[in-house]
Amino acid sequence: MEGFELCFPQLNSSCRKPKRSHSDTVLIYIGLCFISLLTVTLNLLVIISISHFRQLRTPTNLLLLSLAVSDFFVGLLVFFQIMLIDGCWFLGDLMCTLYLEMSYIITSASVGNMVLISVDRYVAICYPLHYSNKITVRTVIICICLCWICSALYNSLIIKDNLKHPGIFNSCSGECVNVVNYIAGVTDLIFTFTAPVTVIIVLYMRVFVVAVSQARAMRSHVAAVTLPFSVKVTVKKSEMKAARTLGVVVVVFLICLCPYYCIVLTSQDNLLNASSAVLVICLSYFNSCLNPVIYAFFYPWFRKSIKVIVTLQIMNPGSCETIKL
């Protein structure tokens, strides 16, 4: 142990801290603190916007609200990841288990929300006449609740050994790990990544094909547009704009999450150590910070709601009616 710094110098069973220069450690700390604070703040703005303003409580925006809630908790979990930069966990085995459980649940719920968003856009673009009947606020709320409940139950099974005996897989004091056997690892990879990503890609390919065909049809008949048809065209354009925006969200999500699952897939012993592969884990967390930035670029209602919230106009009576779509 000579030459290594220990997490708990007074314990012979203490884990060793990884060798890292002081400047690198400080840089990582600052970067993660900035990401965490920005993620929490931006997603809190999304949550307040959709929850407060009545006109924003559409089925699509409720899905964005659910995604923002999961991203908000990701921002909070980054604080725990900051602690693990030094390779040491100081909060005990129980808190380690809760941290792992929450991170798994939030990741699964985020993937589930992405699937629901893809289904929403698929129905809106491919079956626009049936959208208002099939995709209602009540239906979306039920789907969101089922997504979170299933994520919690499923991941409780994945981490059941750690829930029964916190710290059972820790090889030394100051470690926070969870070991997943091969069968459970493959099952988890299929249900939380491979299958959902396949569904998302297939649905958005279909949305893209239909959107292109509709755009061509609009251009070919633009000279013969009547007033009722022009209104219908405007609706379709808004739906396609939403599909394009949410498509960017999905692509960014896949780019940020794929490296993490590639590490999991190629891990020989499926040892998921939160202190290893820091950059890959932080990239998956950074996705939660990017989503509100994408909304700010593409959604005028989000920019308007931010202005109302920041200027404290949200405190005025009847402010929930001030946002116009």
pLDDT at 230: 45
State mean pLDDT over 178-182: 75
pLDDT in tens, 210-254: 777 766 666 665 555 544 444 444 445 666 666 677 677 778 877
Whether the pLDDT of residue 138 is over 90: the answer is yes
Looking at per-residue confidence, does 3 or 26 come out higher?
Answer: 26
Q: What percent of the chain lies above the pLDDT cut of 90?
A: 12
Task: Kindly report the average pLDDT of the chain as a whole number.
Answer: 78
The model scores a pTM over 0.75: yes
pLDDT in tens, 11-60: 777 777 767 667 767 777 887 888 889 899 999 999 998 988 888 888 98
pLDDT at 272: 47
Token pair of 258 as six digits: 């794929």
Which residue blocks in 267-299 are alpha helix, DSSP H?
Answer: 278-298
pLDDT at 313: 83
Whether the pLDDT of residue 143 is over 90: the answer is yes
pLDDT in tens, 253-271: 778 777 776 766 665 444 4
pLDDT at 152: 92
Looking at per-residue confidence, does 131 or 213 come out higher?
Answer: 131
Q: Taking the C-alpha atoms of 25, 27, 31 and 36 in order, what is their torsion angle to the nearest 10 degrees?
A: 40
pLDDT at 265: 61
Residue type, 241: K
Give CA angle at 214 (210, 219), nearest 5°. Answer: 150
pLDDT in tens, 104-128: 899 889 889 989 988 998 898 888 8
Instruction: Give CA–CA dist 174/93, Å, rounded.
Output: 9
Whether the pLDDT of residue 207 is over 70: the answer is yes
- b/e 36-59 (16+ beta carbons within 10 angstroms → b): bebbbebbbbbbbbbebbeebebb
State mean pLDDT over 82-99: 80
Tell me the domains of the chain and their CATH numbers: 22-219+227-321 (1.20.1070.10)
State mean pLDDT over 160-165: 83
Which residue, 71, 72, 45, is CA-closest to 309? 45
